Every structure is written in C-alpha cells, then in structure tokens.
Structure 1
Amino acid sequence: MVPGLAYFLLFHYGAFIGNVVALKDYVPFDGLWRSPWVGFSNFSRMFGDGDFWHATWNTFYIAVLQLVFFFPIPLAIAVLLHSLTSQFLRRFVQSVVYLPHFLSWVIVVALFQQVLSDTGLLNSFLGDSGLHTVDIIGNPDAYRPLVVAEIVWKDAGWGTIIFLAALMQVDEQQYEAAAIDGAGPWRRFWHITLPSIRPIIVLLLIMRLGDILSVGFEQMLLQRQSVGPGVGEVLDTFVFWQGIVGGDTGYAAAAGLFKGLVGAVLVFTANRVAHKLGEQGIYK
C-alpha cells in the first residue's frame, strides 16, 4: 500500500497547498510565497466574467448528457452479457467493448474524424451514392452529442466490468424461483437485479457526481478548434487557456478551485441523500 499512499499524499493531498495561488497575483519568478496577496479579487473577476460562465454552462450541459446517456449504458451491456449462456460469446463481447478503454484520446478523436469529418468515410460513401453529405465534426450543433458518443464508445466497457462483477454476486436461485412463479424478464430485472446491485449503482453515481465537471480535458482540447470556443470551451480548457497559455495563473487557479468545490458539494449532498434513502453511500 505504501506506493499508492505516497502517490495520493504527494500528488493529491500535498497539491492542496497550491490552491493558495487562487488568492495571489502569482508571478512565477517570485514564487508561491513571495507573490503578492490579492484576496478574493480573482474570484470576483471570475464571477463577473461572461466567458467563465459560458464555459461553466457548456461543462454542465455536456456533464448532464454524459450522466443521462453514458451511465446507464454499461449497466445495460452488463445485464445483456450476464444473460448470455455461452461463456465464449460473453468473454468475446466483453473484450471487444472493453478494448477502446486502452486507446488514448488522440487515437479516439482521430478515428472519429476519419469516419465523420467532411472528407471522412461516411461522407465519401454518401457522396459516391449521390446523397447529401453531412459535416458532423465541424457542426457546433452536433458537437455535444458527438463527445458523448465518443466517451460511450471508449469507456462503456470499463463500467460494464464493474456491473458484471456485481451481477455475479446475485443468487441465481432467485431468478429461477421468480421464473417458476411466472415473472418475466422485465419483472426479474426490476425486482431482483436492480435491488441486488443498487448499492453499486449508488456508489458509482455518487463518485460520478464528484467528477461531473471533469468532462474530459484531452477530448475537449483536441476538438475545440473545430467548433470554436463558443461550444467547445469547458472549465478544464478554460483553465488551460487562461493559466498555461495566457499566464494568468491566479485566475486559472480560482476557476479550478471553484470546479473542485462544486464537485465536493455534489458528493456530500448525494451521499447524504443516499443515507436518507437507506443506502450506505461512500462513507458513513
């Protein structure tokens, strides 16, 4: 456990000290402690910045789409795989849907561009067939569904493994008894499967809410230029352009700290609601 604990202590808890930059007019040559204090002026400037609120809105929009469309898909795939009687077919499909998880976002975005860009495979096929072509990659209206589709294709297999492990713990005799009593597949799913894996669903949902504003820095940065910052700017890229590119480190740190505080509030709130509903949550 020592290497894992050292990693979290150094790069996560130890990094909390860097949040003091949000209260300073940080100058790299002066260092962290000699840079002048400015109090909450970075936050005042941030809350009055229309570009910040626009990036926040885009982040929430994409995060809600991911939560609604991405979160249930691994559960659905896991239930379908669990119902298969062929072990070979189950392992084959599980490996196929899990494989994209190991691809970097550079490769994933490049694959989607090769297929869906104005000169990609889809438009080449449509053009050769005499049909109208569609520009999906450069279309701002299609950007948000596109990024959700990319994350579903890439990471649905990872969530499937977690739900499959939970489904393996369900007593098969319950399904057999329910089938004998005349319960169909839907009633067995609703009254046996969901109650059995509900603690895992609640746990993953709470953890997802804590990370809801992190919608994918690399994924967004790689595609931001194709649709422009009006649609493609999220909080992570906003922090990057303000802090790393623009050199306004204190202002970027304030935006990053705001994102972290919102995530923490969502985790505490969701965990409290889970306790009210009789679930264990992630802590007592």
Structure 2
Amino acid sequence: MTLTKLWKADKYLYLMALPGMLYFIVFHYFPMWGIVIAFQEYDPFQGVMSSEWVGADHFVRLFKHPDFWMIMRNTLVISMLNIVFFFPAPIILALLLNEVRTAFFKKTIQTVMYLPHFVSWIVICALSISLMNSEGLLTEWVHALGYPQVQLLMDKSLFWGIITLQNIWKDAGWGTILFLAALAGISPELYESAKVDGANRWQQTLHITIPCLMNTIVILLILRLGQVLNISFDQLYIMGNPLVKEVAEVFDTYVYQAGVLQGNFSYATAIGIFKSAVGFVLILGANYISRKTSEHYLF
C-alpha cells in the first residue's frame, strides 16, 4: 500500500499517535545532535562549533577512573536486584488480581496499588529516612526484636535491599496495568476447555495464563535490560550518604557530581553515551537469545 492509502485507511490512528511521535522527536531525537560534545572540550561560551575536539579522551578518563568498577558494580547489582525481585512483582500481583471475582473489591485494590506511583521519590525517601533513622519506627521495631543497635540507613549491607523494597512498593502496582491488559485479551474459551478437561485454577494458570503472558513478559524484560545502567537518580541521591557511598554511587549520581556540578558537560555526555551503548548491546543480545530459544522476541 502507498503512503496515501495507508493514511486514508488509518488517519485517525495516526492522529492519535501524533502527540507521542512529536514528544519523541522533540525531546529524544532532536537533542541527539548534542552528543557531539562528548568528543569535545565543550565550552558554553564558544559553542559546539568552536569547542576544541579531544576525541575519545573523556571515555578514556571514565574507564581509567579509580572508582569506575565500583560504580559499575553498584549499578549492575541494583539493576539485577530490580530484575530478579521487582520485575516479577507486577506479574504476581496481576495474576492474583485476576483471580478476584468481586469487581468493587478488585477495583479498590487496583486503585490503592496505583497510588504510590504518583508519589514523588522525594516524599518516599523522606518517609523512609524518618522511619529508619536512629529514632525511627522501623529502627525501634528492630531493637524490640532483640537485635543490637543498628543504623539502617548507614549499614552498607542493607542499602541495596532497602532500595529494592522501595522500588517494589512504589511501582509494582503500576506495573500490573500492562499485564492486566494482556490477561484481558486471553480467550475465555481456553479456560472453559480446561475446565471441561478437569483442570483446577492452578493448572489453568500454569498452562494457559502464564504461556499467554509470556510474549508480554519477554518483550518487557528485553526492554528492561536496555535500561540496566539507568537507575532513579532522585532515589539514590537522597538515600545515599557518605557512610554508604561505596555501595550507593551509581552512574547517574556520578554524572551529576563529576559532570554537571563541575560544569564538565562533555564528560557527563560521554558517560551517557557509554550507558546507552551498553543498553543497546544488551537489548540486541537478549533479543537474539530470545529469538533463538523461543518464539517470543522484540524484533
């Protein structure tokens, strides 16, 4: 079909997609020309065209930084914890909600679970700090259980777990939206046939619901891997402190401190390109493996 015929056939769909397309063009594609400053010693007063070219110096500086591997470890560990614990949480919640038959009760639970998503990380982190400081409620509960005096916010062994739990509490409910939509698209005839064959609810979930969700799960997992080096800056910046810096410093906080605050925009851009390159490679690799091992893949 020609472009004219395609437009006439689905012009209203294209018009609905236009705001989203404009958003990505204006805020994601158009600014991409600015990545050139990663290869310059960018001077805001001279501009992009007149700044000195330094090639890959900023990338070399990043890889030779004494804290590079510590930052890489922290970023990867926090991302992997999110994939292992946070990613399955919306799936489990969606499966549980799908079993609720009372419409009012189901909608009420959904509304309550969605609310934390709209709460700012500033508020969530402030609440967490007030609960886990030396006189906080959670700290008092830990002491009441007979554990020794412990500073929850200053214990490096607890930091990654606290961050992961925050992510689950904030966005697990919101993440159920896609999976609930996928569940709504499963044909009821499949469940009716299973009932005729004597399958119970668990067997129906295991042999019908989960396989039907697998395409959505795989695609979201592949996309998630592309964001493996991107972690919420607000959360890590607020929750971090000098005593846990060794496990709290990630690329996003490092970019802010070593790049933005010091006015080194070229260095910050180089780190951003590195993160994007890693994410791109992971997406291609995960999609290739999925294509070779299953029938579910992104492209």
Identify unmatched segments of 5+ residues in structure 1.
none
Q: What residue in structure 2 maps to residue 272 of structure 1?
A: 288
**TM-score between both structures, scaled by the size of structure 2:** 0.88
Tell me how far apart the structure 1 counterparts of residues 77 and 140 of structure 2 sit (CA, whole Å): 32
Structure 1 stretch 118-127 or stretch 156-165: which is displaced more? 118-127
Does residue 220 of the first structure (1) align with residue 203 of the second (2)? no
In structure 2, do the counterparts of structure 1 residues 129 and 197 end up closer, same or farther at CA, with 3 Å as the change threshold? closer
Which residue identity lines up with residue 36 of structure 1 in the other structure? E
Deviation at 1:58, TM superposition (A): 0.5
In structure 2, do the counterparts of structure 1 residues 224 and 126 end up closer, same or farther at CA, with 3 Å as the change threshold? closer
Deviation at 1:129, TM superposition (A): 8.0
Q: What residue in structure 1 maps to residue 245 of structure 2?
A: 229
Q: What residue in structure 2 maps to residue 252 of structure 1?
A: 268
In structure 2, do the counterparts of structure 1 residues 184 and 235 end up closer, same or farther at CA, with 3 Å as the change threshold? same
Residues 11-40 of structure 1: CA distance to partner in whole angstroms, max 9, x if unpaired? 111121111111111222222221100111
Tell me how far apart the structure 1 counterparts of residues 183 and 246 of structure 2 sit (CA, whole Å): 42
Does residue 21 of the first structure (1) align with residue 2 of the second (2)? no
Q: What pairs up with 1:1-16 in 2 under 5 angstroms?
A: 1-16=17-32
Deviation at 1:128, TM superposition (A): 7.0
C-alpha RMSD of matched pairs (Å): 1.9
Q: What residue in structure 2 maps to residue 116 of structure 1?
A: 132
Q: What residue in structure 2 maps to residue 42 of structure 1?
A: 58
Q: What residue in structure 2 maps to residue 107 of structure 1?
A: 123
Tell me how far apart the structure 2 counterparts of residues 250 and 259 of structure 1 sit (CA, whole Å): 14
**TM-score between both structures, scaled by the size of structure 1:** 0.93
Tell me how far apart the structure 1 counterparts of residues 134 and 184 of structure 2 sit (CA, whole Å): 45
Q: Among the aligned pairs, what percent are the same residue?
A: 40
Structure 1 stretch 96-105 or stretch 117-126: which is displaced more? 117-126
Structure 1 stretch 220-229 or stretch 260-269: which is displaced more? 220-229
Task: Give the secondary-structure state (helix, strand or coil) at the position aligned to 2:53.
Answer: coil
Which residue identity lines up with residue 286 of structure 2 in the other structure? A
Deviation at 1:127, TM superposition (A): 5.5
Which residue identity lines up with residue 195 of structure 2 in the other structure? A
Contact in 1 for aligned 2:214/2:296 (Cα 8 Å):
no
Task: Give the secondary-structure state (helix, strand or coil) at the position aligned to 2:225.
Answer: helix
**How many residues matched?**
283
Q: What residue in structure 2 maps to residue 63 of structure 1?
A: 79
Tell me how far apart the structure 1 counterparts of residues 293 and 149 of structure 2 sit (CA, whole Å): 50
Q: What residue in structure 2 maps to residue 148 of structure 1?
A: 164
Deviation at 1:256, TM superposition (A): 1.2
Task: Give the secondary-structure state (helix, strand or coil) at the position aligned to 1:32.
Answer: coil
Q: What pairs up with 1:85-100 in 2 under 5 angstroms?
A: 85-100=101-116
In structure 2, do the counterparts of structure 1 residues 226 and 189 end up closer, same or farther at CA, with 3 Å as the change threshold? farther
Which residue identity lines up with residue 127 of structure 2 in the other structure? L
Contact in 2 for aligned 1:137/1:226 (Cα 8 Å):
no
